[in-house]
Structures are given as C-alpha cells and as structure tokens.
Chain A
Amino acid sequence: MKLIYTDALIVGAGLAGLRVAIAAKERGLDTLVLSLIPAKRSHSAAAQGGMQASLGNALKGMGDDEDVHFQDTVKGSDWGCDQSVVRMFTHCAPKAVRELAHWGVPWTRVTAGPREVIVNAQKVTLEEAQAAHGLINARDFGGTQKWRTCYTADGTGHSLLYAMDNKAISMDIPVHERVEALALIHDGKRCHGVIARCLITGELRAYVAKATTIATGGYGRIYAVSTNAVICEGMGQALALETGVATLGNMEAVQFHPTAIVPVGILTTEGCRGDGGLLRDKDGYRFMPDYEPEKKELASRDVVSRRMTEHIRKGKGVDSPYGPHLWLDITLLGRKHIETNLREVQEICENFLGIDPVKDWIPVRPTQHYSMGGVRTDAKGQSPQLWGLFSVGEAACWDMHGFNRLGGNSLAETVVGGMIVGKYVADFCECNNLEVDTGLVQLFMDRVGDEIDALIDGGGSESPIVLKREMQRIMMDYVGIFRNGAELDKAVAGLKVLLERSRRLGLKCNKRHANPELVEALRVRRMLKVALTVACGAAARTESRGAHAREDYPQRNDRDWLKRTLASWPDSEALEPVLHYEALDVMQMELPPGYRGYGADNSIAHPDTERRSAQIAAILAELGDDADRYTRQRALMPFDLPDSLAPRNERLCDTLATPLTSVAGKISTGEQAL
C-alpha cells in the first residue's frame, strides 16, 4: 500500500484549491495538491468577465463599498445565502484583488480622462479622475449597483490562475497531476485523507492528511450540455456524499446561461445582447418582445433562459443534429463594432462554427453554467458533519450564492473563499495531530481496489458511456431551466434505474493503467448519485427561488422554504439521498427578505420578516446618526474573520483630502442611440 502523508491535502488545483494550499504553506505546513490535470488547465481559467470587489476606483464605481456589494449579493441569491458569509466575502474581496496584483496579475487599470462606453445602447462619455489613474479598473456586470468587476482584458480567470499557480510553484507546493481522488478516508467523525488513483499508471495511493479540502469545482457535466469544462463532473461532491455523513447543500440550485453556442456549449458573452443583439427563432422571428415586452432580450439571465426554453418547447426551435436551438443575431451591430468590441465572440464563431457573426446568425441555446450547490460547510469552510473535511469555491456550499449567483462573484469566491478558508485550514492543521489508522486506510483502499476489480473482471454488461449519456439527457430534459413535479418525478425514477444499472457496469477495455473507459465507469456511478441529489432536491422544493424555477410553484415561498436543502447518502445501497433542511434565521439577518428589484415580485413572506425589520430600525435608531457604517453593521450582524484579514479596506476616497465628487470626473450622456 502506497501511503503519502501531509498536513494539508487539497483536492483540486483551480484558483480556490491553490489559494488554500498557499495559505497552508505560508504557515509552514506540509501541503500537497491533487489534480486531474495540470493546475493551469483548471476550469478557473475559463472565467473571462472578471471578479467583483468594491475598490471604487473607476468613476462608475465610486461610492462603492462592502455594504453595497453585500446588498447586491444577498438580493442576487434571492435570500438563499448565508449573510454572514457574504459579509466575510465582501470584506475580503478588495484584499484578494490587491494581493493578486502583488503576485503578478496585470489588472486592467484606470486611464484618466475621457473614454467612450456604451450604457443602455447609448454612447456615454466618462471622464475618469486624475487621482484614479493607474489604479485597478472595474467594468459593469448584471445585478450590481456599481461598476465593480475587476478584470484583465478578456481573460481574467486565465491571468488569476496563472499568477496563483506561479505563486504556488514559487513556494514549492507539489501538485500531483493526473491523479483522481476516489474516496475519502474517514471514521464517520473525522476525515483522514483520500484514496486516489494515478490516471497514468493506475496505481492506487492513500493520501493521509490532517485536513482535506475539496476544491474540485462544480457538477455541470451531469447535464448533456454545459458551458463547464469536461472535468467538472461533480466528483468532489460525490466524495463527500459517499461518506454517508457529510452533507451537500442546495444541490438543486443550478444556473443556466442563455447564450451558449450549439453544439459545443461555449459561452458567448452577455455583451452581445447588451450591445443590441437579438434572439430569433426558426422562422427568423424575434420572439423575446412577446414574452418580455419591457426588457426584451435584456431581461436577467434566468428569465431569458426560461423564455427561450418555452419558445423551443412550442416547436419554434431550429432543428439540428445536436437538438433544437435558437439564433443570436448580432449582424445588425455591424462589422466595426463586432471586430472591436466583440472580438472574442467573433473568434469563437470562426473557430467553432466556421461562421462570421458579421454576416451569419449564431446558433445558441440556454446551457447549464454554474452550480450554486455543493459540499455544505460552515463559515470556516469545514463540513459540519465531518471534522477535518473542508471545501471551498464552486465545489462548496459555503453559502454566499444562495439560489442564484451574480456574474463576477464566482471568480471572486474562489480567491476570497480560498484566502479565508485557507487560514482556517491552517489553524486546523496547527491544532490537530495527524492520525493514521492503517487499518482504516487499508479498508478504504480495499474498497476502491475491489470496485476496480469488479469493473474489470466482474463480467458486467452495462456501458458506462451509455449510462452517462442517459443521465445527462434526463437532467437536461427534466431538471433543466423550468421544472415541474411530474417531470422531476420522472427524472428521479429514471436516475434510480440508471443507478441500479450502474452496479452492473462492464468494460470493453480491461487495462488497469491509463484507461479512459475505467475512469468513465468510476465516475458515472458517483455522478448518478450527485444527479439524484439535484433531482430529489428540486422535486422536494415546492417553490421558485433564484435559478430554481418551478412551473407548478411560481412563487418564492419564504414562509415554508427559507431553508437550505441538505442531502446525504447514509445507506450506500439506497437508490436516493436523504434530504433534510436547515432553516435560515430571519432574526439574524442584516438584510431581511424583500423584493430583489428585478424579476417578479410575488413572494410569500416569512412571519419573522416584519419583526426583524422593526428590530433593525430600532437598533439603528438607538445608534444615532453619528455611528459610522462599520458600527451600524456590527450592531446588526457581527461576523468573524481571521485577525490578519480583519483590517478595514482603504479606498481612493480615503486617501484624498478633498471629497471625491469634486476630484472625480463627469459622466456625460450622448444623445444618439446606437
């Protein structure tokens, strides 16, 4: 048996995982990262837009602070998030951006003087302040009150991941590449590491650690079409689920993006519609105004996705060998605009579709994009059920996104979450001993070994790829953008049959070393369990909240459903997870549930909402008008952070003697519409 010991073991080498590794190594701990692929190939690299942090350097970001970022995030989550976690997050986001600048990220900077931008399809001239010249810039994103999204041109995720991995290399943090974690070693109370398989040699290894952190990203690939990388298969969530003890939170919260290209599911940016692009059906007809007379193509992501699906279901989709799709028409924007402002969309169209978007329509459809759910953790990133198990980033349900994530908050969560949770992981490693029970390790090693033996020599007949495709189709058809009781029941029933069948898997390729079919077989069983937590969670939640849209229960129901779904799988022979719920306490909220400010306003109120609102008013009144925003916040909802992250964030406005409004530039709106 090959045993490898370490203090902090991290599964997943994307931004979140690497950040935790760096935090542990900084404290002198022995740190080791496992990854399916080279770290720099992680899906974090695909985030192009940027990360939200309330620096308030750019003109349209001035007046921004943690409070505004907090409100936007909570509203975006449809009040499904953990508000103290959102506070921790918004407080540390500016720190993470600045830290990354020290590590080499070439953030796009503010250029003083006038520049032309397009807001609401109108040309607007912004005059950036001289004092802000050279500071980190921000761009506009959906669902935010301020321009808050820090970016590096069109490749923010790439730049961040490269800087982060370079930092990890400089600290000599080993990354074991092409290694797949298959089981957590645990005794029902404490997690002791993982059993992992080398994807090249097939060797099984036991990695024993004080703290194990799951940072494996989302589970988008349980759907047939996803914008996610092909490795985002929910294996991290499955690791936790298969312990039977640890829980997964809000697995039914899955975000769909309206305009990914067909067939490969690569995203075309929201900017296409923001700049005036239109959606058309098989007859070339622009259908969005019929559904959303006011906002048309520019309604929020979830709304547009829902309307497109509705229209396809009416038979108005364009048939293709890859299923029906709709058209995104940006031809009306003209060559000049596309070649300057939508260069990346044009490249995608040329490379993947062989078309020129200046002349041709782009085939698109709503596509799975983000997993709000994941391994449930407390505010320190630790599993409440399994001591020593941590999770961070998209893999986790830390829970700052609730039922809907804002654009720019995913990339931010990886580095900010990693920064905070990393410190708690290091604390844990310093306070706890490495416990090695070789008997226990052997037990888990044998279990995985037996599973592989059975797949190779077991004589099963089910094909892993057939089961996987079938699962992906069920999730796509019945657990998609619109959900209803009947279809969700169908999904659960269908997935259970598949899970049953997955116990009789057989392989055509019987190699024990590098064998893609074996990898597929080991994954598909686990993915089916993850898919079942999504389907069962969705079937049970009889309300609509954020991205979870039930046709049969269109209202957000705070009265009955202001709670987090927790799924566990205590009986490994069972065909479905056990669901239980964790209530969100309105009386602890800084921002009690209300109207988001966009979308439908049709919620059923929670009985505590009014009481809490009154209480908040009273607390603030008692503090008086002199109290600063920090004091007021602390009075409403105190939150903890590691000491080193506690200091306040300095902003440009704090460093200037004169108030910003007078040094800042002007906004002038041009008359002509584009």
Chain B
Amino acid sequence: MTTRLIPTVTDTGSAGRRLTFNIFRFDPQENGDKPKMVSYSLDETPGMTIFIALNRLRDEQDSSLQFDFVCRAGICGSCAMVINGLPTLACRTLTTRYPKGEITLMPLPGFELIGDLSVNTGKFMRQLAERLQLWLHPREGEQSIHALEQAMDPDEAARLYELERCVECGVCVSACATKQMRDTFVGAVGLMKIARFELDSRDGRSVEDFYHVIGNQDGVFGCMTLLGCQDNCPKDLPHMQQIAYLRRKMAMTLL
C-alpha cells in the first residue's frame, strides 16, 4: 500500500480568496431601523465554515451582528439560515461550497425575527408541541422503573429512532410555501413527529385521536406536497414518505 503523504486541509480551501458576505441586517427593537443588506468581506481560511466566518465578522468587524450557534456540529439545530437561496445549517456549511466567493445570508422566513440572522425557532417549536401534544401518551397501566422493562421489537425501535432524528431547526417550515401562506398549518416538523408517535407501539392514542389533531386543512390535508421539507431537511428525514403515510392513514378512517 502506498503511503499517502500529507493530504491537507488546505486542499479544501483555495488560499487567499476574499469572500464577500451579503448579510441581512435588521433590529426590530431599534426605533427607526429598516431591513437592509450589508456587505462584508473576509479572507477565507482553510476549512472555513459559515460558523467560523460569522464569528470572525462579529469579533473583527461588527460586534452587534446577531446569529445563533450552540453545538456548531450540526446536532442542535440552532443555526439554520438561508444561504444563497437554500435554507440549511450554517455551522456545517463550508465556504468552499461557493466558488464565486459571494455568500448571501438571510434569516429563516416564517419565524419571529429576533435580529439579523437570529429567529425564534424555540418559541415556535414549543407552541407546536403543546398544540399537537407531541409527546408519548403511554398506554393504560402502571409501569415500574424497578422491574424488567417491556420488550419492544428491535426493528420498531430502529424505525422510531430514524424518525426521531429531527433537530427542530425550522428548515422544513421555512422551505414550505404552504406553511408560509397558512400560519396555522402544522408543517412537516409537526407531521413528522405525529407520525413518530403514531408508529410507537407504546403510545395509547388511536387513529381517530390523531385524526382529531391533524385531519384537517391545518394538518395533513393542508399539505400540497411541495416537498420543500424533503429537499432541504439537513437530516434527510423521510418527510415525503411519512406525510404520505399519515395521509393514507387518515383517509382510511373514511372506510
């Protein structure tokens, strides 16, 4: 086997490039402030992500710039924003993905704007969870934490985990034209979670119970299958299949 010497991180960043960032700026709490796009420029460094770039801009050029990062590892879902027309997680977006060196950053549409690139996804998700009751409703019966646990089909557990990988980043909400037009629409995030609990054998809710929650224009029948959710989800969740599953399930209650 040939030893490969020094494949470098610098392979991934064309050294010496000067990047231009066009960033949406607006402070809704500042009297008289108007939304505007502001241009910044920054020298690209190898391996630079939007996370690194934004922090450098704030540290070096404008200390008032607002944005949200928490885990900066693509796990927590805090940093979704619209980068050159595509909503995605900023922390794991490399600047090398943009050959022209022009990067436009906009806050996620459809959420309350806190300022600049920061939007209040947390408030939205909590309200959604309360409205749709997005938690496990255990079946009747006492459950002991001291006794041997109930067995569960290993495949079912694996399936549930796959649906549970949603990080509530809000990308599906912002990418959904239906949701933008209809405030009360639950969006892919809500439907995905409903599907997750509907499939959980530990959940005591019946199909009719779920119909009551999502069997309407704000629920699964409001979805027009535009698939912005499917095409932009940073976790590649099976929105298309799950929403279709719920639609069939809810329509079957007619029979």
Contact = CB atoms under 8 A, between A and B. Distances in A.
B140 interface: no
A514 B202 contact: no
Contacts of A178: 114, 120, 122
B70 A37 contact: yes
B29 A106 contact: no
Contact of B78 (A37, A133, A651): A37
A133 B152 CA distance: 8
B153 A647 contact: no
Contacts of A45: 71, 75-76, 167
Interface string A30-74: 000000011111110110000000010000000000000000000
A477 B156 CA distance: 48
Interface stretch (A93-101, A240-248, A397-405, A529-537): A93-101
A362 B93 CA distance: 18
B47 A354 contact: yes
Contacts of A137: 154
A652 interface: yes
A284 B149 CA distance: 50
Nearest to A464: B63
A465 B59 contact: yes
Contacts of B63: 465, 507-509, 516-517
21 contacts: A38-B168, A104-B136, A108-B154, A108-B161, A109-B154, A152-B161, A178-B122, A229-B71, A320-B9, A320-B47, A322-B47, A332-B1, A348-B73, A353-B9, A354-B96, A360-B11, A363-B9, A514-B27, A516-B64, A650-B147, A651-B148
Interface string A484-511: 0000000000000000000000011101
Interface residues of A, number: 92
Contact of B158 (A40, A95, A153): A153
A566 interface: no
Contact of A175 (B5, B46, B126, B167): B126
Nearest to B115: A514
B251 interface: no
Contacts of B118: 514
B94 A351 contact: yes
B200 interface: yes
Contacts of B143: 102
A175 B149 CA distance: 31
Interface of A: 37-43, 45-46, 55, 95-99, 101-104, 106-111, 133-137, 152-153, 155, 158-159, 162-163, 166-167, 169-170, 175, 177-178, 200-201, 229-231, 262-264, 266, 282-284, 318, 320-322, 331-332, 347-348, 351-355, 359-361, 363, 465, 469, 507-509, 511, 513-517, 647-652, 654-655
Interface string B113-136: 011001011110110011001111
B148 A41 contact: no
A94 B49 CA distance: 41
A38 B126 contact: yes
B98 to A, nearest CB: 12
B92 interface: yes
Contact of A359 (B7, B51, B73, B147): B7
A361 B51 contact: no
B215 interface: no
B134 A166 contact: yes
B183 interface: no
| Residue picked from A348, A360, A508, most chain B C-beta under 10 Å | A360
Q: Which 7 A-B pairs have the closest CB atoms?
A: A38-B122, A134-B151, A104-B136, A166-B135, A106-B160, A354-B12, A509-B64
A650 B148 contact: yes
B157 interface: yes
Nearest to A655: B148
A169 B49 contact: no
B65 interface: yes
A231 B70 contact: yes
A42 B1 CA distance: 44
A514 to B, nearest CB: 5
A230 B30 CA distance: 27
A102 B148 contact: no
B223 to A, nearest CB: 23
B96 to A, nearest CB: 6
A109 B151 contact: yes
B225 interface: no
Interface residues of B, number: 81
A406 B161 CA distance: 25
A55 B49 CA distance: 42
B69 interface: yes
Given A155-B165, A352-B94, A508-B63, A133 B148 contact: no
Given A104-B202, A264-B49, A134 B152 contact: yes
Contact of A166 (B58, B136, B144, B202): B136
B146 interface: yes
Contacts of A361: 4, 7
A109 B155 CA distance: 8
B178 interface: no
Contacts of B70: 37, 41-43, 229-231
Interface in B136-183: 136, 138, 143-154, 156-158, 160-161, 164-165, 167-168
| Residue picked from A169, A508, A648, most chain B C-beta under 10 Å | A169
Contact of B151 (A98, A133, A318, A465): A133
B122 A41 contact: yes
A649 to B, nearest CB: 6
B249 interface: no
B145 A169 contact: no
A135 B65 contact: no
B135 A167 contact: yes
Contacts of B115: 514
Contact of B6 (A104, A135, A284): A284
B71 A153 contact: no
Contacts of B219: none
A108 B75 CA distance: 20
A361 B74 CA distance: 21
A81 B115 CA distance: 45
Contacts of A264: 47, 49, 51-52, 72-73
A654 B158 CA distance: 27
Contacts of A513: 29
A511 B30 contact: yes
Given A102-B138, A166-B129, A647-B146, A41 B76 contact: yes
A356 B103 CA distance: 24
B145 to A, nearest CB: 4
B22 interface: no
A163 B125 CA distance: 14
Contact of B146 (A95, A106, A133, A159): A95
Nearest to B147: A650
Contact of A95 (B52, B75, B121, B145): B145
B112 to A, nearest CB: 10
B64 A515 contact: yes
A235 to B, nearest CB: 14
Contacts of B126: 38, 169, 175, 177
| Residue picked from A110, A170, A177, A652, most chain B C-beta under 10 Å | A170
Interface in B36-73: 45-47, 49, 51-52, 58-59, 63-66, 68-73
Contact of B66 (A230, A507, A514): A514
B206 interface: no
A155 B122 contact: no
Given A166-B134, A511-B30, A159 B161 contact: yes
Given A110-B154, A159-B164, A648-B146, 11 more contacts: A37-B68, A46-B71, A101-B150, A101-B202, A106-B156, A109-B154, A166-B135, A353-B12, A361-B4, A363-B47, A650-B147
Given A109-B152, A514-B27, A163 B122 contact: no
A655 B147 CA distance: 10
A263 B53 CA distance: 12
B77 interface: yes
B125 to A, nearest CB: 7
B196 to A, nearest CB: 9
